[in-house]
Amino acid sequence: MFPAPFEYHRATSIDETLALLAQYGGDARVLAGGQSLIPAMRFRLARPAVLVDINALHELSYLREEGGVLAIGAMTRDAALETSALITSKYPLLADTSALVADPVVRQSGTVVGSLCHNDPAGDWGVTALAGRAQIVIRGATGTRTVAIDDFLIDSFTTAVGEGELALEVRFPTPPPRTAGSYQKIERKVGDFATACAAARVTLDANGAIADAGIAIGAAGPHAIRVRDAELLLNGSKPTKDLIRAAADAARKLADPAADNRGSAEFKKDMAGVLVRRALVAALGRLGVEGLQ
């Protein structure tokens, strides 16, 4: 199907983008990689009267590590993370995720920030952003604000980005020493959205206890969910099989998935627990902690 008619503007600067968004208000939508917005328009699920294309804003295409954070610009494609030496060497949670979003063709166009702004209940990046304690930088006519991912993901397909605003970048804290993460996903076939997915990030202290953990699940509610009960169980404890099983159980209890053609609610709930266990075992394995399977 063809999209409903719309007006198209190719912005050439952040200021011009903001001016266009202010001018057209609720009628305008930002176009980044177009991998969610264009299909939604073709199915007439979205009918924006005006598209503000930000693909010419090359200044928003970057992976920058400085001041204790990794900043990923709004026009940085998923594929850029997959091939980045910085990401593969230092951010295993992000490397895992970037290799599992959709398929290689979609990843050439789709952006990390666009995925977060889209906030699909089964999207991958929201899960990783919660476990990684990401923040989103948003700019509008009145200035720039930074929003924690927990406050950014409001409801299915709804985020803290308001009318007239542009998300500029997502920031992940640079992992302290003895930190690793892992992203796990079950999909029906390569390129599909998650049937279930989970992210784990752990930092060990000098004695081998878990100093800080981030756990999140996806395709398990209206948007990605942080599993605080699992984090509380893990923080301050030595990693054992029983501890990991308890954290997985907390995820399984919290998951509230919808049944669809990817699986029953009961199956997806079970998989949320299974994937949290796998993510924790993999993350700890990357830190040299073995025998937790």
- Binding residues for ligand FAD, rule: CB under 6 A, are 29-37, 39, 74, 101-102, 106, 109-111, 113-115, 117-118, 123-125, 161, 166-167, 191, 193
- Closest to ligand FAD by CB, 109 vs 237, is 109
Residue whose structure tokens are 């994937």 = 275
8 Å CB contact between 75 and 53: no
Nearest to residue 256, comparing CAs of 213, 215, 214, 223? 223
Q: In angstroms, rounded to a whole number, what is the distance separating the alpha carbons of residues 186 and 98?
A: 15
- Closest to ligand FAD by CB, 167 vs 289, is 167
Q: In angstroms, rounded to a whole number, what is the distance separating the alpha carbons of residues 180 and 194?
A: 22
Q: Considering the complex, what minimum distance in angstroms separates the CB of residue 135 from ligand FAD?
A: 14
In eight-state DSSP terms, residue 34 is: -
Q: Considering the complex, what minimum distance in angstroms separates the CB of residue 292 from ligand FAD?
A: 28
Q: How many CB atoms lie within 10 A of CB 50?
A: 18
Handedness of CA 126, 130, 133, 136 (dihedral sign): positive
Q: Considering the complex, what minimum distance in angstroms separates the CB of residue 56 from ligand FAD?
A: 13
Q: Considering the complex, what minimum distance in angstroms separates the CB of residue 38 from ligand FAD?
A: 6
Q: Considering the complex, what minimum distance in angstroms separates the CB of residue 268 from ligand FAD?
A: 15
Q: In angstroms, rounded to a whole number, what is the distance separating the alpha carbons of residues 287 and 250?
A: 23
Q: How many CB atoms lie within 10 A of CB 125?
A: 32
Q: Which two tokens stand for residue 36?
A: 């969610």
8 Å CB contact between 268 and 262: yes
Q: Considering the complex, what minimum distance in angstroms separates the CB of residue 70 from ligand FAD?
A: 17
Q: Considering the complex, what minimum distance in angstroms separates the CB of residue 251 from ligand FAD?
A: 19
Q: Identify the helix (H) or strand (E) that includes residue 253.
A: helix 241-254
Handedness of CA 9, 12, 18, 23 (dihedral sign): negative
- Closest to ligand FAD by CB, 84 vs 195, is 195
- Closest to ligand FAD by CB, 13 vs 240, is 13
Nearest to residue 92, comparing CAs of 101, 102, 82? 82
